[in-house]
Structure 1
Amino acid sequence: MDDFRPATTAEHLLWLLAQHGVEHLFLNPGTDSAPLQEAAATLEKAGVTIPGIVTCSFESVALAAAHGYWQVTRRPQCVFVHVDVGTQNLGAMMHNALRDRAGVIVIAGKTPYGEEPDAPGGRSTPIHWLQDVPDQAGTVRAYAKWVTEITRPQMLARAIGRAVQVAAGGLPGPAYLMVSRDVLMDPPAREPGRTTGYAVPRPPAADAETVRWIAERLVAAERPLLITAKTGRRPDGFRAVTRLADLAGVRVVDLAESGCVNISTSHPMNVLSAADARRAVEEADLILVADADVPWIPKVTRPRDDATIVHIDADPLKTDMPLWTFPVDLAVTADGATALDQIAVRLEELGLTPADDRPGLAADASSGAGAPPPSAAPRPAGGHITVEEVFTALNEVLVPQDLVVEEAVTSAGALHETLHRTLPGTMYGAGTPGLGWGLAGAVGVRMASPGSRVVTVVGDGSFMFGVPTAALCLAAEANAPIMAVVVNNNGYRASRLPVFELFPEGLSAARGDAEGTRFAAPPDFAAVARACHAHGETVTALAELVPALRRGLQSVESGRSAVIDVRVLPD
């Protein structure tokens, strides 16, 4: 610690986080965070480096932002929440962090242990008894990768080092720590503890024999197909997918829920439309599945019986999904980007070059894969804006370097088919079930990408799930302005469509509506934005869409967030 000598365990904790590369502490304060708040002020005055404290007015927003930051940097950030109730307010964002393998550290307060009048940090208000629950960690145990309580100052250095290591290593995921304020107020351990030696494992590679086996079958395949969701999360993954498509004539299904760019939307082997993707699965004689939890929907499409299926994933068994039973002929425990690059290297050793003609390649490239989407259908009566027109307008105002964060829900397919994304690292999204990620996730992406323009596309339901007042407040607090484009179809379409699917002849389908899925008196989202000191506009006419988007981007460039509420065609 050089000349720095912490006076409390709280000061030691902040110093340790910084030493392990944690740049931000997303703080939702409570009665248990007081020692950390005082420690931050003390250390700042002393010139000691600690994580930047980011004030968050709601816990789920804090975790979504930390998750977004992870997606860009692959560096775990820290969230501090208030005991059990703050933990509960993390809600679905814990599920998202688990499923998206997001390395984040959550530190929750714990009810103080001391009751004596002279116990530093001891119980001093009725809430300290009311929030004393039998199993606080049980709230998140099924979703946290690792759980522990810091019960004494002497274990702090090991606990923080381990938390960062576990969150970022192997299959990344949330680490959940608990610490009471009386422990935070204790004198620190006499020794600072080591801050090195917590190595994060390198991404696993495939063995040479497996690589050779796959490469030989790629050469022999007539209609090879690669299905991926998240290989492109790293730029080297984008390059590996593109390299394989170029060398082996592999068609690529870049799954719409991926939340990243796995291959350029302009690449001729990118199978853009959902209908073409279904046909590609049914026609392929060799299918590589890389970093994709759900490669296809068996109810909708299936591979042919004689297809060879190779599954590449850091966890190909998917043991946290009890009924994951997709057919697999070869399961490879490896990082997708690493393994695909190994296969590409082997193909080059076999003499393949991007110029080689492959059986079926010409047909694949001319069948619409990677081509611009077909001309838009005639505009609907009544002048409603379609979701496709929203994304076409975004194509007009965005540049390739702009960053897009997607939580478009039932509009995600149209976004995937219409929005141009040609550069790696220019699309983000959780791709997980917990709605409400898109706003604060975009703030985290913006914090990790200084100077970039960040646009998040959300549905009206997910906009409200995202606690917009808290998310816009966070954007202002963190000096990380974003533009939110709300695809507003006035309701929960994602909850309406299953009713129509299960009861196609039912009364709901006949009425074109379903109970509980329409908003009778929705908020004025533009007014919500203005109340949060952001730019807000409502767009109902197509002619006003591009100008409104440009004004929103200008607001972001000036340092102020923007919300563009686009009223689109109802079902």
Structure 2
Amino acid sequence: MDHFQPATTAEHLLWLLAEHGVEHLFLNPGTDSAPLQEAIATLAKAGAPAPKVIICSFEAVALAAAHGYWQVTRRPQAVFVHVDVGTQNLGAMVHNMLRDRAGVVVIAGKTPYAEEPGAPGGRSHTIHWQQDVPDQAGVVRGYAKWVTEITRPGMLARAIGRAVQVATGGVPGPSYLMVSRDVLMDPPAPELGRTTGYAVPRPPAADPETVRWIAERVAGAERPLLITAKVGRRAEGFHAVTRLADLARVRVVDLAESGCVSISTSHPMNLLTAAEAQQAVEESDLIIVVDADVPWIPRFTHPREDATVVHIDVDPLKTDMPMWTFPVDVAVTADGATALGQIADRLEEIGHTAPATRPAATATATSTSASTTASAATSGAAEGPMTGAEVVTALNEVLRADDLVVEESVTNARALHENLGRTEAATMYGTGSPGLGWGLGGAVGVSLASPGRRVVTVVGDGSFMFGVPTAALCLAAEAGAPIMAVVLNNDGYRASRLPVFELFPEGLSANRGDAEGTRFSAPPDFAAVARACHAHGETVTDRADLLPALRRGLEAVEAGRSAVVDVHIIRD
């Protein structure tokens, strides 16, 4: 510990986080965080290592930012929340961490144990009894990967080391620690404990025999198909998918809800449209599913009876999804990027050359819808309301290949997937999970982890409000991590309206083209909200104003200021 000797467990905790590679502590303070706040000042004065503290005004936004940071770096960050109520405010973002397999260390305060007069950190407010609940960890127990309480200083070093190790390794996920402020004020343990030896397991590879078997099936298949959602989370996955597509003319379905890009949208083997993907599932004789929770919807499509289905995943049993029952002939426990690389290596070893008769994908750089809407989006000549696809096409005009796009566009996700050009690895982020409100905070985390890069998040108007924009824009300013939010504003919850039409096609709602509880009668002025948070804000209702507004938003980001471009699109 060099020349610094901690005087409290709180000081020791911060030092340990830094020693284990945690660079940021997203802090939402409360009565239980006082020892940490004082420890932060003490370590700074002593020049001792500690995570950079970033104040957050809402817990869910803090966790979304830590999640976004993980997606870029694969390094877990720490989030501090106030006892049980702060834990509850993490909300659906905990679900997203579970489903996206993202590592984070959540540290929650706990009601102090001491009551006697003069006890350091003991109970001193009414809330210290009110917040003493039977099972605080139960709030997240079904979603956290590991839960424990630090009850005495002697266990701190082991608890922090284990929390980072478990959050990062195997199937990554949230670690949840609890610690009361009286424990934080205790002197540290005489033996401060080791900070090494908490090795993170290397990504699992497939066994050679399985690799050989799969490679032979790829070489012999007439219509091989690769379906993935998240293997492109890492650049290695993007390159492995591309190699396999190039070597064996394997067609690729990069699922629209993945929130990442696993192969260039301009690659000739990339099936961009839903119709192409469905047809490929139904006609392929070999389907390899890699890092995909839902490879197809059985209600609408399914593989042919004689198709061989191979499933590659670090958890192919999907034990956290009780009714995951897709038909699989061969299940492989392996890291997707690693296994695909092994298969490509084997194909090269045997000198495999794909027959020219294998079909290519029909999609190219952009889909038909993109090309037909390009002129309308850029010229301002067309009449009528804009579509989501037109906005995405306009984004293609202003984005650079290395710009980072964060997606939470909900019912416009398909338009984004089919029309947005993404040709470089690790330039697309999103959770691929249903917990709405992630896009703004997640984009701040992506920006924080990518200094100097332009970050654009595309969100629906519902997602924008779920994301607590005041808190997210405040966080972006505090972190020095500006973002541009492009809001696809269709004036309501379209995602909640469409199921009503689907289930009751002849019902009153479908006949009138609306459903109760899905339209805002007095929506906020999103651009005004942005300006109130010291960000650039614009509202776009006319095609002619779209491109200039997007360019002004990006100029604001380049100048270190966040921006919100609220684009009103067609209501349906």
Asked if these proteins are the same fold (TM beyond 0.5), I'd say yes
Say whether 1:567 aligns with 2:568.
yes
Per-residue CA deviations over 1:495-539 (Å, capped at 9, x if unaligned) read 000000000111100010000000000000000000000000000
Matched residues in 2 for 1:360 and 1:82: separation? 61
Shift of residue 390, structure 1, vs aligned partner? 0.3
Per-residue CA deviations over 1:296-335 (Å, capped at 9, x if unaligned) read 0111111111100000000000011010000000000000
Task: Count the aligned residue pairs.
Answer: 566
Report the counterpart of residue 317 of structure 2 in structure 1.
Answer: 317
Report the counterpart of residue 253 of structure 1 in structure 2.
Answer: 253
Q: Is the partner of 1:412 in helix, strand or coil? A: helix
- The equivalent position to 2:363 in structure 1, one of 357, 368, 373, is 368
Matched residues in 1 for 2:177 and 2:267: separation? 44
Matched residues in 2 for 1:285 and 1:360: separation? 14
Report the counterpart of residue 59 of structure 1 in structure 2.
Answer: 59
Indicate conservation of the 8 Å contact 2:273/2:367, yes or no: no
Shift of residue 385, structure 1, vs aligned partner? 0.8
Q: Is the partner of 2:465 in helix, strand or coil? A: helix
Matched residues in 2 for 1:43 and 1:320: separation? 40
Q: Is the partner of 1:241 in helix, strand or coil? A: helix
Per-residue CA deviations over 1:338-362 (Å, capped at 9, x if unaligned) read 000000000011112xxx442533x
Indicate conservation of the 8 Å contact 2:366/2:420, yes or no: no
Matched residues in 1 for 2:389 and 2:507: separation? 29
Residues 18-167 of structure 1: pairs in structure 2 closer than 5 A: 18-167=18-167
Per-residue CA deviations over 1:80-137 (Å, capped at 9, x if unaligned) read 0000000000000000001100100000000000001110000001010010000000
Shift of residue 191, structure 1, vs aligned partner? 1.6
Per-residue CA deviations over 1:50-97 (Å, capped at 9, x if unaligned) read 000000000000000000000000000000000000000000000000
Q: Is the partner of 2:406 in helix, strand or coil? A: strand
Indicate conservation of the 8 Å contact 1:404/1:426, yes or no: yes
Shift of residue 49, structure 1, vs aligned partner? 1.1
Report the counterpart of residue 332 of structure 1 in structure 2.
Answer: 332
Paired residue type of 1:240: A
Q: 1:347 to 1:388 in 2, by over 3 A?
A: same
Matched residues in 1 for 2:71 and 2:211: separation? 28
Report the counterpart of residue 241 of structure 1 in structure 2.
Answer: 241
- The equivalent position to 1:358 in structure 2, one of 355, 358, 362, is 355
Report the counterpart of residue 509 of structure 1 in structure 2.
Answer: 510
Report the counterpart of residue 306 of structure 1 in structure 2.
Answer: 306
Q: Is the partner of 1:331 in helix, strand or coil? A: strand
Residues 87-486 of structure 1: pairs in structure 2 closer than 5 A: 87-352=87-352, 356-361=353-358, 363-365=359-361, 367-368=362-363, 372-374=367-369, 375-376=371-372, 383-486=384-487
Q: Is the partner of 2:277 in helix, strand or coil? A: helix
Structure 1 gap segments, 5+ residues each: none
Q: Is the partner of 2:458 in helix, strand or coil? A: strand
Shift of residue 364, structure 1, vs aligned partner? 2.1
Indicate conservation of the 8 Å contact 1:8/1:186, yes or no: yes
Matched residues in 1 for 2:472 and 2:487: separation? 14
Matched residues in 2 for 1:564 and 1:140: separation? 35
Matched residues in 2 for 1:275 and 1:570: separation? 24
TM-score by length of 1: 0.98
Indicate conservation of the 8 Å contact 2:264/2:424, yes or no: yes
Shift of residue 261, structure 1, vs aligned partner? 1.1
Shift of residue 368, structure 1, vs aligned partner? 3.2
Residues 12-23 of structure 1: pairs in structure 2 closer than 5 A: 12-23=12-23
Paired residue type of 2:488: V
Shift of residue 376, structure 1, vs aligned partner? 2.2
Matched residues in 2 for 1:553 and 1:383: separation? 26
Matched residues in 1 for 2:300 and 2:404: separation? 32
Per-residue CA deviations over 1:162-189 (Å, capped at 9, x if unaligned) read 0000000000000000000000000001
Matched residues in 2 for 1:368 and 1:531: separation? 43
Report the counterpart of residue 497 of structure 2 in structure 1.
Answer: 496
Paired residue type of 1:540: T
Matched residues in 2 for 1:47 and 1:205: separation? 42
Q: 1:441 to 1:371 in 2, by over 3 A?
A: closer
Shift of residue 159, structure 1, vs aligned partner? 0.1
Q: Is the partner of 1:218 in helix, strand or coil? A: helix
Matched residues in 2 for 1:364 and 1:338: separation? 25
Shift of residue 371, structure 1, vs aligned partner? 5.5
Matched residues in 2 for 1:360 and 1:104: separation? 47
Matched residues in 1 for 2:511 and 2:424: separation? 44
Matched residues in 2 for 1:83 and 1:266: separation? 48
Matched residues in 1 for 2:541 and 2:263: separation? 33
Indicate conservation of the 8 Å contact 2:485/2:565, yes or no: yes
Report the counterpart of residue 557 of structure 2 in structure 1.
Answer: 556
Per-residue CA deviations over 1:367-411 (Å, capped at 9, x if unaligned) read 335554344269798521111110000000000000000000000
Matched residues in 2 for 1:540 and 1:89: separation? 34
